[in-house]
Amino acid sequence: MLKWYEEKSLPTDIIISSRVRLARNFSDYPFAAKLSDEKAKDLVREITDKFMGKKANEESEYFCCNLSNLSEVDKNAMVERHIVSPLLADKKQETGLILSDDESVSVMINEEDHLRIQSVTTGMDLEKVLKKANEIDDYITGNSHIAFDEKYGYLTSCPTNVGTGLRASYMCYLPGLSVAGLISSLTEELARYGVAIRGIYGEDSKSIGNLYQLSNEKTLGKTESDILEHLNEIMDQVIRQERKRREYLITNNYNELEEQIYRAYGVLSYTKQITSNECMSLLSDIKFGIDQGFINLNKELNIFKLMMDIQPANLQYKMGKSAGNSLRNRYRAEYMNQCFKNALNG
Amino acid sequence: MLKWYEEKSLPTDIIISSRVRLARNFSDYPFAAKLSDEKAKDLVREITDKFMGKKANEESEYFCCNLSNLSEVDKNAMVERHIVSPLLADKKQETGLILSDDESVSVMINEEDHLRIQSVTTGMDLEKVLKKANEIDDYITGNSHIAFDEKYGYLTSCPTNVGTGLRASYMCYLPGLSVAGLISSLTEELARYGVAIRGIYGEDSKSIGNLYQLSNEKTLGKTESDILEHLNEIMDQVIRQERKRREYLITNNYNELEEQIYRAYGVLSYTKQITSNECMSLLSDIKFGIDQGFINLNKELNIFKLMMDIQPANLQYKMGKSAGNSLRNRYRAEYMNQCFKNALNG
């Protein structure tokens, strides 16, 4: 079955994916900070039981597991693919995961809240993923006692999530703004509107591969559709600015860009060893080159998928064996060679 | 007809070519510093007349010309190919050139001395080129009054050339010594033995493409065969050191070298614009890769020939039109793409 990010969908030249997560807690379990190990086990069992045998789609059922049954590589690979959070992967207490085959729906059990329900899709479509997350929410909590306050809304471990418990986010590819050095001023500006920008794959401040996550900071005192509408308005602005920056770059630095893209192509085609950071940066160049028509490949390559594939744990998973850094760098290079060598038209 | 550097010959993994030049002056003409414009014309005419219709080999006659009849691009291209010196190319007075079709024999007329007779061949074979140069010398000066002193030998404009008038030189490819940062200490060491090292294509001190010229400094008080023997002894030492350094590099930095070579290959295959300096450096990486068996090309490429071809004036000559820097960089890139794209076995 294809993963969500392999599905054909809306354009992904700027917004790669749309994601929501809902934070939910049961009133008949203590919140995470006070949850005993035994209750944690009960919680994980209760939720996973609900999904046993449940169809995620026509082809397959949900995958349910206790995270303790997964290997470190599996867990890290899931963190890299944003299926689970680092917090869940590292937690000592019993934790659980519900996952659809295409990885578009996941439920983390006993993370910071009892439930973190996530739904994701390619391109710009928060409405679709919110609808899906709400369906899952209804399925799990329909007959349960939920920690909900008439005045505040959903109650959560951290006050920042009280209210709707909704975090909506776009994963964006922003090479134009990034090359122009505008990400930090944009971050400051959007903070005033309650929207956060974070780099993904890398330190918080600087992103690798020009990938960024934009998400709402506030969940209290707003409806779900307020949150989506507001984030979409902001996102429209960011898209406009990114397009302007790209046009500027292309008009003023065409030859340099072209050279950078073709060299990235040459290196990825023939490298024998490459780190994930450099690989991300070259893949970003290639993505820009494809999206903006600088290069034309004779096969369809999903660059965002490659960006996840070449992360250390995912690569290790692909290799089927544990390997040190330098072996991984060689394997990553081979993989890139296979993808790119002789893939250029013209 | 193939140029001398295109002929199959001895190994050229370290010594690319062997060259001698003989400085000669006529006693019945004033030396260059005092030569009138009229006498300069006479000199050029007298020598070129001798070569009119003379066979350089079975296929072709010598090319004879006054340098003033050549375009700037032609002259600069000849400087880059070491056929003429910058001094000859720039001289305001009448100057002449005799050149064999394969460019292995050239005679500069009215350079620093009346005659500079040059002969060159691939690989390590100074004896062969000295023999050839002496034949040309005999042909030109056999029936002439030559400035020769019983005690000192051949008299020349600059005292450093008095004696045999012979400069013997090897053009060497020394990536091992160069990467190890040993060229300047080697230069100092060899100076004590009367052997000079110069970078070619670049400033005196630093070479581009790891190409160096080793030549004798002294011509006085020695026989021609003394000079050759001494230079060969030194060269054998340098070759030994270079081989040792290459072994060391390959043993200790195999992966880094391999990566550098494959990236050079990738960039040369796909670059859209490249300067001659960077191109030289990448061609040097490729040469090392081929010579040391890191890469295996599916066609025979004479890297040293490419190194000359991509020099600005030679490239312009190839383009058949005058062009600015940036157009040349694009043409150079196209040429490299043609040479290297899809040329890798395995």
Nearest residue of B to residue A341, measured between CA atoms: B342
CA gap A217, A89 in Å, rounded: 24
pLDDT at A323: 83
Nearest residue of B to residue A344, measured between CA atoms: B270
Nearest chain A CA: its distance from B247 CA (Å): 21
Render the burial of A268-284: b for 16+ CB within 10 Å, e for the rest: bbbbbbbbbebbbebbb
Q: Does A263 sit within 8 Å of B266, measured CB to CB?
A: yes
Q: Does B262 sit within 8 Å of A266, measured CB to CB?
A: no
Q: Which candidate from A262, A270, A344 shows the least CB-CB separation from B271?
A: A262
Q: Which sign, positive or negative, has the C-alpha torsion A9, A12, A15, A16? A: positive
A167 labelled binding-site residue = yes
Residue A267 with chain B: CB contacts under 8 Å: 263, 266-267
Interface test with A, best of B253, B255, B259 (most A CBs within 10 A): B259
A345–B contact, CB cutoff 8 A: no
Nearest chain B CA: its distance from A337 CA (Å): 11
CA gap B147, B134 in Å, rounded: 16
Residue B273 with chain A: CB contacts under 8 Å: 255, 259
Segment holding B18, helix H or strand E: strand B15-24
Residue B326 with chain A: CB contacts under 8 Å: 255
Residue A157 to residues A28, A35, A302, Cα–Cα distance (Å): 14, 11, 37
Enter the pTM of the model: 0.89
CA gap A6, A25 in Å, rounded: 32
Nearest residue of B to residue A342, measured between CA atoms: B342
B205 labelled binding-site residue = no
Nearest residue of A to residue B256, measured between CA atoms: A273
pLDDT at B23: 97
Render the burial of B262-285: b for 16+ CB within 10 Å, e for the rest: bbbbbbbbbbbbbbbebbbebbbb
CA A300, A303, A306: angle at the middle one, nearest 5?
110
Sequence-distant (≥ 6) Cβ neighbours of residue B288 within 8 angstroms: B175, B257, B261, B294
Q: Is B121 helix (H, G, I), strand (E, B) or coil?
A: strand
Q: Does A269 sit within 8 Å of B269, measured CB to CB?
A: yes
Amino acid of residue A189: E
Q: Is the pLDDT of residue B124 over 80?
A: yes
Interface test with B, best of A270, A286, A329, A336 (most B CBs within 10 A): A270
**Mean pLDDT on B136-140:** 95
Low-confidence ranges of chain A (pLDDT < 50): none
CA gap A158, A167 in Å, rounded: 13
Q: Does A255 sit within 8 Å of B263, measured CB to CB?
A: no
Residue A272 with chain B: CB contacts under 8 Å: 255, 258-259, 262
A139 labelled binding-site residue = no
B201 labelled binding-site residue = yes
pLDDT at A180: 92
DSSP string, A211-249: EEEEEE---TTS-HHHHHHHHHHHHHHHHHHHHHHHHHH
Nearest residue of B to residue A327, measured between CA atoms: B255
pLDDT over 90 percentage in chain B: 83
B200 labelled binding-site residue = yes
pLDDT single digits (tens) B32-76: 999 999 999 999 999 999 998 888 888 888 999 999 999 999 999
Q: What token pair was written down for B199?
A: 């970078």
What is the number of CB-based contacts under 8 A between chain A and chain B? Answer: 50
Q: Does A263 sit within 8 Å of B271, measured CB to CB?
A: yes
Q: Which sign, positive or negative, has the C-alpha torsion B191, B193, B194, B196? A: negative
pLDDT at A9: 65
**Intra-chain end-to-end CA distance of chain B, in Å:** 33
**Mean pLDDT on B95-117:** 96
Q: Does B259 sit within 8 Å of A271, measured CB to CB?
A: yes
A342–B contact, CB cutoff 8 A: yes
**Mean pLDDT on B11-18:** 91
Nearest chain B CA: its distance from A162 CA (Å): 52
pLDDT at B204: 53
Beta bridge partners of B195: B216
B7–A contact, CB cutoff 8 A: no
Q: Which of A57-61, B209-213, B269-273, B285-289 has the lowest mean pLDDT?
A: A57-61
Residue A270 with chain B: CB contacts under 8 Å: 262-263, 265-266, 269, 344
**Intra-chain end-to-end CA distance of chain A, in Å:** 33
Residue B9 pLDDT grade (very low, low, confident, very high; cuts 50, 70, 90): low
Q: Does B269 sit within 8 Å of A270, measured CB to CB?
A: yes
Q: Which candidate from A255, A265, A271 shows the least CB-CB separation from B270?
A: A265
Sequence-distant (≥ 6) Cβ neighbours of residue B104 within 8 angstroms: B3, B4, B119, B120, B121, B129, B132
Nearest to B311 by CA among B324, B290, B328, B326: B328
Residue A266 with chain B: CB contacts under 8 Å: 263, 265-271
Q: What are phi and psi of B69, to 5 degrees?
A: -85, -5
Q: Does A266 sit within 8 Å of B272, measured CB to CB?
A: no
Q: Which candidate from A258, A267, A269 shows the least CB-CB separation from B272?
A: A258
CATH numbers and ranges of domains, chain A: 4-240 (3.30.590.10), 249-340 (no CATH)
Q: What token pair was written down for B5?
A: 């550097």
pLDDT at A251: 97
Q: Does B255 sit within 8 Å of A272, measured CB to CB?
A: yes
**Mean pLDDT on B281-298:** 96
B93–A contact, CB cutoff 8 A: no
CA gap A41, A48 in Å, rounded: 11
Q: Which residue has the tokens 């890290």?
A: A76
pLDDT at B76: 92
CA gap B334, B270 in Å, rounded: 8
A332 labelled binding-site residue = no
Residue B272 with chain A: CB contacts under 8 Å: 255, 258-259, 262
Q: What token pair was written down for A87?
A: 């917090």
Nearest chain B CA: its distance from A22 CA (Å): 46
A104 labelled binding-site residue = no
Nearest residue of B to residue A340, measured between CA atoms: B266
Residue B266 to residues A298, A310, B61, B296, Cα–Cα distance (Å): 18, 20, 42, 14
CA gap A111, A299 in Å, rounded: 40
Nearest residue of B to residue A268, measured between CA atoms: B266
pLDDT at B218: 85
CA gap B293, A113 in Å, rounded: 59
B170 labelled binding-site residue = yes
Q: Is the pLDDT of residue B31 over 60?
A: yes
pLDDT at B12: 84
Q: Does A255 sit within 8 Å of B262, measured CB to CB?
A: no
